[in-house]
Chains A and B, each alone.
Chain A
């Protein structure tokens, strides 16, 4: 009887530990793979500036692969010290992380907020201690912060620009992301409209086959986008209409669209996406996806690192200027290298650097290889030699 109880306890403990390490262990592996961030804090430098970064979720490969190394490199090249912490998607953990980073001597904080409201107490603590805060990639509604991000509206604009240029007239399908995500319902569609989608629908040049709002995809799930797209193709075939182009908001939904087009042997009308996911870049090389708008996170990391060093020397965001030539010219803010006013949806005005996304088509896939986003082998896997894009030759 006793042994059975013990066994039960051990098993349940194992499960609990297993479940925890799923989330808890997530941070350790990529961080150490990226060079052991904690161990590097001994460096110290001429500037004596310690930059603390609070990640909300280091499990997403992007942060470990692109953002973190570039922030770190830029900070250390300027003589500063880099420290960080990962909140594993937990709001409370992020507040604790901010405390820890402050007590470890961070002079500037870079915050990737898990939740832009829940993080406010941590922000206040930092500001009370006189530490300037950079809202990295995700906005925090507070006039004191410096906001560094990619222009999400521009992402939508770049998607639609490319596709509309290719197919100025015809039947369009709109595949959107999760209905609860403002990126899916507001920012990206407003970018599409800026590229002329709305005007062309009004003028009748473009007809949207799947309702005025397009089709939303729960949780941006690839399988859901696939089954939705299958129904849309079936409907178009039943109606005797032809799909000329497809605007998909991001890469996971675009992947589902390609799955549906393949399964139905429909051919591949011009299709958009964003994120620069390897599977999608491979589809661009194969001609199955027309454009993939790519946010070069390396450049975002560099900009944040440089801005952090500047804030160390002078905590005012007004007139803050990035060093010339640090950020690639095609990505640098259209408004120039000095921080600009940005009016938030909540009505606050903050200083900001808004970087430009890069639309990738078969013509400029080399950019993705150069940015370390994908290896040439992965990009060109299964690409037909006769129709291969320049980057695969």
Chain B
């Protein structure tokens, strides 16, 4: 690698030809136009609903609700990207979410107090339950992944079987009844006024996020220099850093403009800040992006999805890679289940039902291609927000669920159609 760095940089490489057209300027910032377009689409959707509702829609409270509603789907969608990129599918996520949700509820209401002797005062009950749920998710994921990767049964079949049999297993666990009454700390996973990080910590997170963006930009520039790769012009770096910081701090301010409901705040203006499910989503998005783009595992997934034969010939242990994807998926399902069950404070038999459809839709709207090899984590998260903003917005406007479904279906087809059109034109 040092050879590359030592080689005399070709001037055309380090300094791309200065272009003054708008298109050229945008190209110089190296912004992902796809993601940027989706952000614009999301903004447009919010704007339209805001106009239709006479300015009542785009309020901190409503946006926080929307984000919390999207968080579970978005978390699983980050994993679905890897699944679809590797030319597989996972239809069992909804049932797995239901299974783990029921596990959490039974652990905290029955198994812990009655069998393990961990009463309500036992410390870290919520963490133990969460750990066991994650373990269960990873276990089921590993089992499905093993059958897919090592036995060779198509993932569609394996996870379809999973969808059916896991949903059935949930029935046996609870004998068909809903289980309610979770640990009070566990309930914080669901968000709400008390399930948020609070005003001060939100600002701290905002500043940390801002500094992280600047550090990443500086580090990226240094690395590119070192290896003789072309760097962005200085104005583009400053612009990206500035906009990034502005967005992060703006979001923090926006979250802090959401106040505690008057009923429980005693008339005081207490900012809620970012709800815990969103903190979880941000964490998952960062970790998954890092996994997908910076770790060997992630690169293997994309290599395999792009060309399975070539990846295998290149010496990648493709089977283990596929197995790992499903383990990751199981863990993500456990996190989404925690949010879903905490939001309800109840595990019903239908928790997670038809999640698989929303998750796949989110990943696909976010630009993941069924042909394999293409897809981004951030895109899937944005996709989940686009779909949920439609559902929430229509709900807010009083459009009934049949109407919501019609719109969601049309948007799904439009988004993917637009994407394939663009790709064809681009190639």
Contact = CB atoms under 8 A, between A and B. Distances in A.
Contacts of B402: 179, 216
B192 interface: yes
Contact of B261 (A231, A266, A283): A266
A392 to B, nearest CB: 15
27 contacts: A12-B157, A18-B165, A22-B165, A22-B168, A59-B171, A59-B176, A215-B400, A216-B401, A217-B401, A218-B401, A223-B340, A223-B352, A226-B343, A231-B65, A231-B392, A234-B59, A234-B62, A234-B65, A235-B396, A239-B56, A255-B178, A255-B346, A255-B348, A259-B345, A265-B193, A282-B180, A282-B181
A223 B147 contact: no
Interface string A235-252: 101110000000000001
A323 interface: no
A276 to B, nearest CB: 11
Nearest to A229: B395
Contact of A26 (B57, B168, B398): B168
B122 interface: no
B88 to A, nearest CB: 16
Contacts, number: 155
Contact of B62 (A23, A238, A265): A238
- Most chain A CB inside 10 Å of its own CB: which residue of B56, B62, B178, B179: B178
Interface of A: 4, 7-8, 11-12, 15-16, 18-19, 21-23, 26, 29, 59-61, 179, 210-211, 213, 215-219, 221-224, 226-228, 230-232, 234-235, 237-239, 252, 255-256, 259, 262-267, 277-279, 282-283, 381-382
A279 B180 contact: yes
B405 interface: yes
Interface of B: 53, 56-57, 59, 61-62, 65, 68-69, 109, 147, 151-153, 157-158, 161, 164-165, 167-169, 171-172, 175-181, 190-194, 260-261, 263-264, 340, 343-346, 348, 350-353, 391-392, 395-396, 398, 400-402, 405
B344 A8 contact: no
Contacts of A230: 65, 69
B176 A265 contact: no
Nearest to A277: B178
Contacts of B194: 265
A227 B351 CA distance: 13
B147 A11 contact: yes
Nearest to A262: B345
A381 B181 contact: yes
B263 A265 contact: yes
B188 to A, nearest CB: 11
Given A18-B165, A22-B167, 12 more contacts: A11-B153, A26-B168, A219-B353, A223-B350, A227-B69, A228-B395, A235-B56, A238-B61, A252-B348, A259-B345, A265-B192, A279-B178
- Most chain B CB inside 10 Å of its own CB: which residue of A231, A259, A265: A231
Contacts of A259: 343-346
B401 A238 contact: no
A73 B192 CA distance: 49
A217 B353 CA distance: 13
B396 A234 contact: yes
A238 B167 CA distance: 38
